[in-house]
Structure 1
Amino acid sequence: MDWSPHARALADRVTHPASRWRDAVAETPRHLLVPRWWAPGPYGWTVQDGPADPERWMRAAYCDRTLVTQMGPLHADHAGPGDRPRGRPTSSSTMPSLVLSMFGHARIRPGLDVLDVGTGTGYGAGLLTALLGDPRVTSVDVGGYLTRAAAERLDAAGLHPTIATVDATGPLPGTFDRIVATVSVRPIPASWLEALRPGGRLVTTVANTSLIVAADKTDDGGAVGQVARDWAMFMTTRSGADYPPGLAELIEVAGAAEGEQVSTARFPVLDVAESWEVRSMLEILAPGIEHDFAGGGGVRTAVMAHADGSWVRAEQVGHEPPVVHQGGPRRLWHLLDEVRDYWLQHGALPLYGANVRITPDGVIHLQRGRWKATIARSP
């Protein structure tokens, strides 16, 4: 099947005619990089085999959407038809328009050496190589199979960036003019600042937030910049084949327990995980909160849990005031109320457009007007 018309159609959708990325998108065979992927369905995730249905393969590969390729430790390349993986996505081919958005924030241009953090399927590295040339692009990922497969498939497409199996939070293989991450971190790894050349620029997202940080290296070894007036969310960096166990047990307890404090809420129940700006602000105030939400039959239930043992369950029937049950050392619902109070008082949250100062150890300092916050390593 001729994939070129599909790639050109994708380029038409995600670039403008004068974009330097237009030819790169039109000439990069995304389908070769994603022969199999996971698709969500009513009974869980199921593996999709591209070569078994070429027309569907072309539609999926050249659609502007993310294709999940690994769930937990199970890659779609190794899955059988009956496999139903549990856990969280651990690798993907990011939606092309989002990849290009991150490249735009990085101000990439020919002549620069670029580090792509989060190889995944290799699509981002492929686009970079198509624009900059093989010697200018290095891509890293923590998964050995991910990097091997991406390198082999890119090689078959005539693209030969340097691809290495590296924990990106540690030492990096070289120095670079640009570092662009399609994984999220908290704080900025100090090794990124060490690998960034004088005047270089890094672009990444903060873990569990939608905040895109774009910052230029300073003489003291840190960096300064801004939180973009844009948003994105990516998987967080990991050191193994899967993420550590989450707070599923505490969330289950919170779903039924009476709690030490029961009260009536001032605001309606909110699906915080889908309210990116609120979630981001809450993550800065209390990093590490996990969320669960259910809605149906006129009842909305939100659950939050933290590793320190704090939890909350808020239940709302129709338009009645929600009933809030809380337990543990902190009152998480009160923190959420603080965020919503700020929003109502100021008309917006102060995140997007905030000034950024990153110290050489990677700690992120935010400021917008009188508001200040520090993003360091999660407790």
Structure 2
Amino acid sequence: MDEPWESHARRLAGAVVRPESRWYEPIATTPRHLLVPRWWVRGEGGRQIRDGSSDPGAWMRAAYSDQTLVTRIGPLHADHAEPGAVARGRTTSSSTMPSLVVTMYRYASLGDGCRTLVTTGTGYGTALLCQRIGADHVTSVDVDPYLVEAAAERLSSMGLQPHLAVADLTQPLAGQYDRIVATVSVPRIPAGWLTALRPGGRLVTTISNTGLIIVADKTDDGGAAGHVAWDRASFMATRSGDDYPASTLDGIFDTATTADGEVTVSPLPVLDMAQAWEVWSMLTLTAPGIEHHTDTADDGSRFTWMAHPDGSWARARTARGERTTTVHQGGPRRLYDLLEEIRWRWIEHGELPVYGAHVSIAPEGTMTLSRGQWSATLGG
């Protein structure tokens, strides 16, 4: 290595927080590279493996960049991949970008002595938290036994020994906590979190398939109340098995690709919802379970496809140089019409009501978001 890892870590700390921040020293003194010895990068045909020991310079640049490092694709962890391996599938674990880890912790309002439950992954967020509040106060859990084992060994080599356990976050949790901070997303707040949260305790997480950070404090009735943060974040969803189950929407997407359906013309061009977080989040809340893909063809045309478990589908195309969009839709609902209603509201009001919304969570986990005249309920 051209420079000691400490130099890289201090540069990362300086890029993420101010020197006077209480998070500066945890970032500057945590050897992230030891927690991510191998990782996956995008390449031709899928994700390609990178091994830190074979290229120390690239290892330092990757580990001490403010970027998320993917460590598991489907059931295959980077630690177990053969040299030159290429993986395809959904990301199932990663080391979250340091600035986002700190953002989630800041929303938790961590105080001295806060017993805090976090998610494990590579253990990097756990390491930062141990440095900040003390390992005795940290419980770190993951559904994957290997992730817990590897993180425990690597954290121990740094002199950090929090309590680590294999646990499914969708099931009841052992113990009682002042804070629960999950860098995975949930479709609704699991009732087990509320049971495990002490009176007045706080939970911080994200809603699946949205960019919404939920910050909520436990209420006297056993539920919680809070708000949607103005920051945005998106994490992979909780899982109970070795991999996510196969999508049930493949056949509906096939229909969306080939069927004519009802044909209309929209005055708005196709929108890449991955870049329009407000719209994407609002659409998910309006039609939970919806999935969508956007792509640009070789001729410059932009396409989007939409599918929903109820059998609804849509396909839209904006030709290169055009602004209008040809839309095909079918099934019990007109998914593209739902998207258009959201976009017009966005255009007319300059914002959507999702960010900054009030959050009310019932003891069983049903969650209602509301702002002004708008509201949406998840899990009811």
User: 1:1-379 alignment to 2 at 5 Å?
Assistant: 1=1, 2-116=4-118, 118-246=119-247, 247-259=249-261, 261-296=262-297, 297-318=299-320, 319-376=322-379
Worse-superposed segment, 289-298 or 250-259: 250-259
Task: Kindly provide the amino acid, as one letter, of the partner of residue 144 in structure 1.
Answer: P
Q: Contact conserved, 2:204 with 2:214, CA < 8 A, in 1? A: yes
Q: Distance in 2 between matches of 1:78 and 1:268?
A: 44
Which AA in structure 2 matches 1:32? Answer: L
Residue identity opposite 2:109 in structure 1? R
Cα distance in structure 2, aligned partners of 1:32 and 1:15: 22
Q: Which amino acid in 2 is paired with 1:266?
A: P
Tell me how far apart the structure 1 counterparts of residues 250 and 68 of structure 2 sit (CA, whole Å).
26
SS in 2 for 1:226: strand
Q: Distance in 1 between matches of 2:85 and 2:330?
A: 37
Q: Deviations over 1:82-120 (max 9, x none)?
A: 43222110000000000000001111122211100x310
Distance in 2, matches of 1:285 and 1:266, equals 22
Does structure 1 conserve the Cα–Cα contact (< 8 Å) formed by 2:260 and 2:328?
A: yes
- Tell me the alpha carbon deviations over residues 202-237 of structure 1, each in whole angstroms, 9 at most, x when there is no partner: 100011100101011111101111101110000000
Q: Distance in 1 between matches of 2:239 and 2:345?
A: 33
CA distance in 2, matches of 1:13, 1:283: 33
Deviation readout 1:173-227 (Å, 9 max, x if unpaired)? 2111111010001110011111111111110001110010101111110111110
In 2, the alpha carbon distance for the partners of 1:282 and 1:152 equals 42
Instruction: Give percent identity, aligned residues only.
Output: 58
Q: Compare 244-253 and 341-350 and name the one that shifted more.
A: 244-253
Cα contact 2:35–2:124 (8 A) shared by 1: yes
TM-score (norm 1): 0.96
C-alpha distance in 1, partners of 2:274/2:239?
20
Could you tell me the TM-score, scaled by structure 2's length? 0.96
Report deviation, 1:252: 3.0
Residue 320 of structure 1: CA displacement?
4.6
CA RMSD of aligned residues (A): 1.2
CA contact (8 A) 2:268 2:323 kept: no
Q: Distance in 2 between matches of 1:364 and 1:18?
A: 37
Name the SS for the 1:294 alignment partner. Answer: strand
1:10-56 deviation per Cα after TM superposition (whole angstroms, max 9, x unaligned)? 11111111111111111111000000000002332100000111111
Residues 257-286 of structure 1, C-alpha deviation per residue, up to 9 Å, x if partnerless?
222x11111321111233211110000010
Q: Distance in 2 between matches of 1:355 and 1:291?
A: 27
- Distance in 2, Cα, partners of 1:202 & 1:317: 45
How far did 1:249 drift? 3.5
**3-state SS of 1:39 partner:** strand
Aligned-partner SS, 1:65: coil
SS, match of residue 229 in structure 1 = strand
CA distance in 2, matches of 1:58, 1:270: 37
How far is 1:131 from its partner?
A: 1.3
